[in-house]
A and B are shown apart, each in its own frame.
Chain A
Amino acid sequence: MSDIPRISRRSLFRGVGSATLVAGCAAKTPTPAPAPGLDPAAPPLAGTALGPGPAPLRFTLNGAPQTLEAAPSTTLLELLRHQLDATGSKLVCDRGACGACTVLVDGAPQPSCMTLAHDVEGRGVTTVEGLATNNQLSPLQRAFIEHDALQCGYCSSGMLMSCQALLNRRGATDAAAVEHAIAGNLCRCGTYPNVVAAVLSVAKGGA
């Protein structure tokens, strides 16, 4: 798409400015609709209600059972980083768009910034902290070092989780499958070829 001119922040806001002038309406900041007083006499609910304050939550983090409390508006990423001190999963976009916060929920990779903490009730979460055993890096982690698959390292914990999920699922694999598996992990340092090489080396049994 190199023939398409890039939009700079400045030109976006210039566009906005002229649009508001033409439209003759200054940009107002709408406050989101306030919650109406909810009917206390509503019929009993078939189901359960959590929050809005902290509510009990149980799940397993890297094999260890957790029993804690979290408000329903807490994302899984916030819970991991702020309440459980598991800061390996990184916060970058907070919108599901970069993959730095990728964790495994019952083995499936997903962005923890778009997952509510309470969504993992009763489930098993694996983060990058769960890859090493007894202070020994996992074969995949060693392969990342061996193949120089990280530079600044900001994407690496998410990258590792997407790649580990692929290895868990497929064992033997090929370059196309690795590229597909990391298609949700943005690396601004451009480590992709080395990540692919690292994963393939583990799939072949080396590190």
Chain B
Amino acid sequence: MQPFALIRPTTLLAARDRVHEHPRARLFRAGGVDLLDRMKEGLDAPAELIDLRTIADEKSLRGINPDPAGGCQLGALVTLAELAAAAELDAVLREAAGSAATPGIRNLATLGGNLLQRPRCWYYRNVDLVCLKKGGDACLAVTGENKYHAILGGGPSFIVHPSTLAAALLALDASVDIAGDTPRNIPLADLFVGPKQDPTREHSLGPGELLLRVVLPPAPPGRRSAYAVAKEKQSHDWPLVEAAVSLSLATGVMTQVRVVLGHVAPTPWRSREAEAVLENQAPSADLFRKAAAAALAPARPLRHNAYKLPLAQGLLREALHRAADLPLPE
């Protein structure tokens, strides 16, 4: 890694001001897992890292706290290990957090950094290649090796969003609190920027803006949820495909159904088509099969990733069966 200065601000404002002055040369650092990876590869070479973990005047950056509106707030610096162990959180979130990366990485990696990590596309991660994401004029994945790329919502770039937590949090209707020139709360879905809008970025934070916390609204009565994932290795790997589901079963029919697929699209992919099939219906294996087919109907695979279609359908069905507590058919 090229030399850099390590800044340990004690106030939120000091951290933000520091980055705001030189947003290209000074980067926020949380757990540092994605950042060090990028710096070791030569993709980023900041002059300064601004460590968020020394900020002392903003308590809500840490821990899981009650939200005034009745739900809870997850500090941006909460680690994946803490999320996985928090019994008060919904199953979909605990399962997702506990499945990502490795136990050692989960002790370092934070919620904020996980949502804001850069994509895993190997053309992006290779410093010698210049694709659309790095200001070049073509997506190298279209004609190259696209086994891990998008089957939904792709173009002109075909990354899949790398965050496992994003899919789970979207299924829980999360929003995010942002500290910026205009402090704001936005739906989590609006944090993500798709390639049609701008292929060079994945999130909407401005220079020096900081993700403070994720806010979860109160759960509807009888909410149940589940997360299902397939990887090439059971541990160590980012998902090939993942499915996050939440639904309310208070009255015998499913309401407030949320269906999110991860690692299929440039942003975490909420399937309104599948939700429409499921909403206000009694759970059944047949219905889940229909919902899975509806979710993947708009998919357009590239040359090497058509396997993701049946995989996503299977994982979505598994998550639905587990959430509704209906035994999986053989």
Contact = CB atoms under 8 A, between A and B. Distances in A.
B23 to A, nearest CB: 11
A20 to B, nearest CB: 7
Contacts of A71: 3
Contacts of A51: 3-6
Contacts of A110: 104-105, 107-108
A7 B105 contact: no
Contacts of A102: 104
A137 interface: no
Contacts of A3: 307
A32 interface: yes
Contacts of B47: 35-36, 38, 52
Residue with the greatest number of chain A CB neighbours at <10 A, chosen from B4, B21, B137: B4
Contacts of B235: 183-184
Interface string A9-51: 0011001101110110101111011111011001101111111
A68 interface: no
B273 interface: no
Contacts of A30: 127, 130, 134
B297 interface: no
Interface in B136-195: 136-138, 140-145, 147
B14 interface: yes
B307 A96 contact: no
A72 B130 contact: no
A117 B112 CA distance: 22
Interface string A69-112: 00111010000000000000000001111110010000011110
A181 interface: yes
Contacts, number: 187
Interface stretch (B38-46, B64-72, B196-204, B206-214): B38-46
Interface stretch (B29-37, B219-227, B250-258, B260-268): B29-37
A53 to B, nearest CB: 7
A172 interface: no
B145 A29 contact: no
Contacts of A75: 36
A73 B145 contact: no
B43 A32 contact: yes
Contacts of A162: 103-104
5 contacts: A4-B232, A18-B143, A47-B9, A52-B4, A111-B108
